[in-house]
Amino acid sequence: MHIKSFDHITINLKDVEKSLWFYGELLGLEALPSVDMGTHLLHYFQLPGGGKLELTEYYDSTGTFSGKATDKGQARHLAFEVEDVYGVERLLTQAGYPFHVPVSHIQQLGFSGGLTRDPNGFELEFVEYVR
């Protein structure tokens, strides 16, 4: 077996409009064509460096996941490398998405980073490597 590349990560949507604005306008990801799967709609965004973000809009209510970040067996977060992590923290905080883990330097990993949540409650990490 040979893994060729990363393809996509999926986030189930709570708020479609806020999510499309957050990833498209606020973060500036390129929107790709959406695909109607019959029971749900898949909204795609191109991720820098390859791969896609797949945002799933279910037509019927599916309930809400309320797990903690330390729960086992779940996706924890999606991380983005950025040029100015403190600037991203200011931008997202001003837009109503404050960092629950403020940006700080993580010596062991060689980057400064922090964590926030998207409109669906999905955790996002933003990191800036010290080179």
What pLDDT digit, counting tens, does each position of 21-42 carry? Answer: 999 999 999 999 999 999 999 9
Is the pLDDT assigned to residue 72 strictly greater than 90?
Answer: no
- Which two tokens mark 15? 């708020």
Strand partners, 42: 35, 56
| Pair 81, 39 in one domain | no
Are 2 and 26 in the same domain?
yes
Domain-embedded: residue 68:
no
Q: Residue 82's domain spans which residues? A: 76-131
Determine the average pLDDT of the residues in 96-123: 94
Pair 8, 49: CB distance under 8 Å: no
Please give the tally of structural domains in the chain. 2
What's the CATH number where 56 sits?
3.10.180.10
Using alpha carbons, select from 96, 91, 90, 87 the residue that is nearest to residue 118. Answer: 96
**Tokens for 17?**
């409009």
Q: How many CB atoms lie within 10 A of CB 118?
A: 23
pLDDT score of 6 more than 90:
no
pLDDT > 90? residue 7: no
Assess whether pLDDT exceeds 90 at residue 117.
yes
